[in-house]
Amino acid sequence: MANVTVKLFANLREIAQTSSLSLTGESVKDVLLSLTEQYPALKELVIEEGGDVKLCGYINVFLNGNNIKHMEGLDTILNDDDELGIFPPVSGG
């Protein structure tokens, strides 16, 4: 199990009322599930409804600054002190 820092952006940060928290998990998926368990209101904004755990299409998750889309996605394995950012794009102008 890795201890990681999770950073939340934009409306996710507003809902959780924190911009950063510590969570543990083996993979990105574990940490996201742990996050949405702790903050149920984030669940529908981050994880698509349905059986398999799947990110909402517009959510970007990045590990130490790199998009997990270019790694193993939700199965990407985490190490201690990794930083996981969860970023909903903003759309105003």
Partner 1 sequence: MLDKDELERYSRQIMLFGEDGQERLKDACVFIAGAGGLGCPVALYLAVAGVGHLRIADKDTVEKTNLNRQVLHWENDIGREKVLSVGDKLREINPHIEAETFHITIDESNVRELVGDADLIIDAMDNYPVRYLLNQIAYEKGIPLIHGAIRGFDGQAMTIIPGKSACFNCVFPSPTPTEVFPVLGVTPGIIAMIQVNEAIKYLLKKGDLLTDRLLIWNGLSSEMEYMKVSRRPDCKICGTGSKLQE
Binds partner 1 by CB under 8 A, chosen from 3, 5, 66, 79: 66
Single out the residue of 52, 61, 48, 51 nearest to residue 88, CA to CA: 61
Is residue 11 near partner 1 by the rule CB under 8 A?
A: yes
**Cα–Cα distance for residue pair 87/16, rounded to 1 Å:** 13
In this structure, are residues 82 and 63 in contact, taking their beta carbons and an 8 Å threshold?
A: yes
Among positions 19, 24, 38, 79, the unique one binding partner 1 when judged by CB under 8 A: 19
Contact residues: partner 1, CB under 8 A: 7, 9-11, 13-14, 19, 56-58, 60, 62, 65-67, 69-70, 85, 87-93
